[in-house]
Structure 1
């Protein structure tokens, strides 16, 4: 199958390799790109904290920008939203990793197993824009936390003729969507290109139900059984 991969680089290239190994024909078209804030990371680690949390692998990549200065924090309990984020943290050298069930709300429940009201402080490295589910769930549990915005996802500029050129020989068999912001950017690019969703693909595969919500009503979209890439690719 011919599959459009919309996630940011370099993750898009890793996904493309997986798709090729599965016998598919991947086409990479990143719609968002990350800007890391190294200064915010350094300032964040200067705050008192008993544990660290992230809800995306991109936040882990932002932490990597700290270089050798990160070594002093690698033994701190580290809460990761899911298995992919946990793997990225392990590759960076974090040793005490607690893995959530894939959502911000579930991660807050995992955090509550270690921290509670007046029993410690959490340092949450987050991106912009983001959903507020994790922070809302922390507040509901009265868990002391500080949010450090360590990266921003920005749209990648594409000429209006980019998508029409990619579907000149016919629509894709599937489009992979990993985030709400990517889905929003795709809808905007479709509008700028004068295309409908059906012109690009008959199937849109979404990492979560919240991603699907961004697509226009009536679009044929499937949601992964779990918010991870393995589940997403299994829809193919």
Structure 2
């Protein structure tokens, strides 16, 4: 299949490589760009560091990495955990790719009342902080990065959607924000019909909900919110 990868870099290129290995033709054209906010992480003693994205690790400065080198680190998934280890962070624990599991891992490891620092994104979700605070943990969120939307539909995508028949078969959606932005940019470019006709592969039900709000149906929703589960839909030929 000819598949549009709309997720931000650096993940977009990596996903494109995986699609080629599976025999597909990727069009890597992100609609969001991840930018560090420049936020200085707060002072104080913390019992653990929460990392819910690889972007959080990338946003850490050399001084941050040195400061937290021996602190227990709770990473949402395998890729975030691996990047944290390569950044020199120690005692990294992996939750398996899901914010609820990350919250459970923290509760099983540290006592209630522990102070936690969450290196978060500007569009972050309520979990795992909400359930941890409800369980008595003191969670401080530092907004270290933000996803900035592109102003227009990537030219290669606009051209592909304008072709007759369309030169794309499917699109991979990795986040609610990415799906909303892709739909909005397609509408602004007068490509809504072609965009809606694509097979929409979604990382989670939350991502699929963004399409549903625009009147679009998800072709496939991953059983778990990770890339392996998402690409499994392509492997299965669904």
TM normalised by structure 2 equals 0.89
Alignment RMSD, CA only?
2.0
Contact 2:179 2:207 (C-alpha < 8 Å) held by counterparts: yes
Change (3 A) 1:37 1:202: closer
Question: How many aligned positions are there?
Answer: 230
Q: Which residue of 1 aligns with 2:117?
A: 123
* One of 23, 46, 49 as aligned partner of 1:49: 46
Q: Secondary structure at the match of 1:95?
A: coil
Q: Which residue of 2 aligns with 1:180?
A: 176
For residues 183 and 44 of structure 2, what CA distance do their matches in structure 1 show?
40
Deviation track 1:99-139 (CA, whole Å, cap 9, x = no partner) reads 11322222111111122323x21111000111112121112
Contact 1:212 1:221 (C-alpha < 8 Å) held by counterparts: no
Change (3 A) 1:36 1:91: same
Q: Which runs of 5+ in 2 are unaligned?
A: none
Deviation track 1:73-100 (CA, whole Å, cap 9, x = no partner) reads 2221100111221122122122311111
Q: Which residue of 2 aligns with 1:79?
A: 74
- The Cα shift of 1:235 comes to 1.0
Contact 2:49 2:73 (C-alpha < 8 Å) held by counterparts: yes
Contact 2:29 2:157 (C-alpha < 8 Å) held by counterparts: no
Residues 1:88 and 2:83 aligned together: yes
Q: Which runs of 5+ in 1 are unaligned?
A: none
Residues 1:109 and 2:100 aligned together: no
For residues 174 and 122 of structure 1, what CA distance do their matches in structure 2 show?
40
Q: Which residue of 2 aligns with 1:140?
A: 134
